[in-house]
Amino acid sequence: MAQGTVTTVRLPPEDLKRLAKLAKELEVDRSALIRRALDAGVREILVEEAVRKYQRGGASAWFCARGAGVNLLVFLDELKVRGVPFRTDEDLLREQVEELIRARRGR
Amino acid sequence: MPAAVVNASPLAFLARLGRLDALDVFQPLLTTDVVIQEIEEGLLHGHREILAVRDLTERGTLKVRRVAPSPIPGLTLDPGELTVVQVARGIKGAVAVVDDLSAIKAARHLGISVRSTPFVLLMNVEGGAISRDEFARLMDRLMKDGYFLAPSIYLKLLEGARTAGRP
């Protein structure tokens, strides 16, 4: 691994115990485990925030996905897993279908 | 047949449904390199259905335009979506095949005609390439995939298929 920057984080003793136990189980050193947990945690936070942003509206799914640093297809999967619907323009769709029905009946 | 420029989400949804051929109602069928790059990246995350999109580009059915995205003030879109809007804007009579609510609003704001995945599938019912029973199944699968259609829209789509297609 490339040389990283040393930083100090204050952790409760029970968290340190959990980390030590898990590091032993996975046979990795504690620093590697903390980096892995941090990676996964930050990704989760970014995706969660991007999903919220998407739900609030005004930004596209792709825009939100990129903001979280994830691929659009992955983001669509995340929406599905979290039960957040992918939204299209239903008003337009309704207009278009009604127009098609009218045209069909007029024939 | 009108020309169409396809965005990433319709390609993803249609590929999942195994009905990329529904885009045959457009000629020529175009997309952009930014869209294809995003779609191809899906493969790295296990989306094997994307191989069907690759097949379309390799066969030349889906033509890929290289476009540098330029921001359009006031639009909160991804650069990829901007490229779709840019290409559609440059071709007279072209429609943008776009699903995302924000992207649709942006495209329409710029005077571009838009078709979404459910409507493209309905066009195929009208054209006889998809039966109305299959259309109903495809709508169900699309919704299972996370694509939201309010019950009233869903019923309207089925009504559209009933009046347009074969059983």
Q: What domain count does chain A have?
A: 1
The confidence score (pLDDT) of residue B70 equals: 82
Residue B152 clears pLDDT 80, i.e. is over it = yes
B1/B9: higher pLDDT: B9
Q: Tell me: the pLDDT tens digits for B114-131?
A: 999 999 999 999 999 999
- Residue range(s) defining the domain that contains residue A32: 13-106
Question: In chain B, which residues have their Cβ closer than 8 Å to the Cβ of A74?
Answer: 42, 45
Quick one: DSSP state of residue B93?
Answer: T
Question: Do residues B138 and B161 touch, judged by C-beta distance below 8 A?
Answer: no
A66–B78 CB contact, under 8 Å: yes
- Residue-averaged pLDDT of chain B: 94
A62–B78 CB contact, under 8 Å: yes
Instruction: Count CB-CB contacts under 10 A for residue B96.
Output: 26
Q: Which residues of A60-74 are buried (b: 16+ CB within 10 A; e: fewer)?
A: bbbbbbbbbebbbbb
The confidence score (pLDDT) of residue B63 equals: 97
Instruction: Answer whether residue A42 is part of any domain.
Output: yes
Q: Which helix (H) or strand (E) holds B87?
A: helix B79-90
Q: Tell me: the pLDDT tens digits for B44-91?
A: 999 999 999 999 999 999 999 999 888 877 777 888 899 999 999 999
Q: What share of chain A is helix, strand, coil (3-state, %, to 5)?
A: 70, 0, 25
The confidence score (pLDDT) of residue B69 equals: 85
- Please give the single-letter amino acid code of residue B5: V
The C-alpha atoms of residue A53 and residue A70 are separated, in whole angstroms, by: 14
Split at pLDDT 50, 70, 90, the class of A2 is: low
Give the mean model confidence (pLDDT) for residues A38-66: 93
Instruction: Answer whether residue A7 is part of any domain.
Output: no
Split at pLDDT 50, 70, 90, the class of A106 is: confident
Instruction: Answer whether residue A55 is part of any domain.
Output: yes
The C-alpha atoms of residue A23 and residue A40 are separated, in whole angstroms, by: 16
Instruction: Answer whether residue A3 is part of any domain.
Output: no
Q: What share of chain B is helix, strand, coil (3-state, %, to 5)?
A: 60, 10, 30
Residue A83 clears pLDDT 90, i.e. is over it = yes
Instruction: Answer whether residue A93 is part of any domain.
Output: yes
The answer for B90, left when phi > 0, alpha when psi is -120 to 50, beta otherwise, is alpha
The C-alpha atoms of residue B65 and residue A66 are separated, in whole angstroms, by: 21
The confidence score (pLDDT) of residue A107 equals: 67
Residue B162 clears pLDDT 80, i.e. is over it = yes
Question: In chain B, which residues have their Cβ closer than 8 Å to the Cβ of A73?
Answer: 12, 38-39, 41-42, 45, 47, 50
Residue A53 clears pLDDT 70, i.e. is over it = yes
Q: Tell me: the pLDDT tens digits for A20-31?
A: 999 999 999 999
Of A73, A74, A89, the CB nearest to B104: A89
Question: In chain A, which residues have their Cβ closer than 8 Å to the Cβ of B79?
Answer: 66
A50/A104: higher pLDDT: A50
Give me the residues of B, 105-134, that contact A with CB < 8 A: 105, 108, 114-119, 122, 126
The C-alpha atoms of residue B142 and residue B135 are separated, in whole angstroms, by: 10
Split at pLDDT 50, 70, 90, the class of B36 is: very high
Cis peptide before B28 (omega within 30 of 0): yes
Instruction: Answer whether residue A67 is part of any domain.
Output: yes
Split at pLDDT 50, 70, 90, the class of A58 is: confident
Nearest CA in chain A to B8: A72
B80–A100 CB contact, under 8 Å: no
pTM of the predicted model as reported, rounded to 2 decimal places: 0.90
Nearest CA in chain B to A89: B101
Instruction: Answer whether residue A5 is part of any domain.
Output: no
What 3-state class would DSSP assign to A43?
A: helix
Instruction: Answer whether residue A1 is part of any domain.
Output: no
Residue B167 clears pLDDT 70, i.e. is over it = no
Question: Do residues B77 and A63 touch, judged by C-beta distance below 8 A?
Answer: yes
Q: How many CB pairs under 8 A join A and B?
A: 128
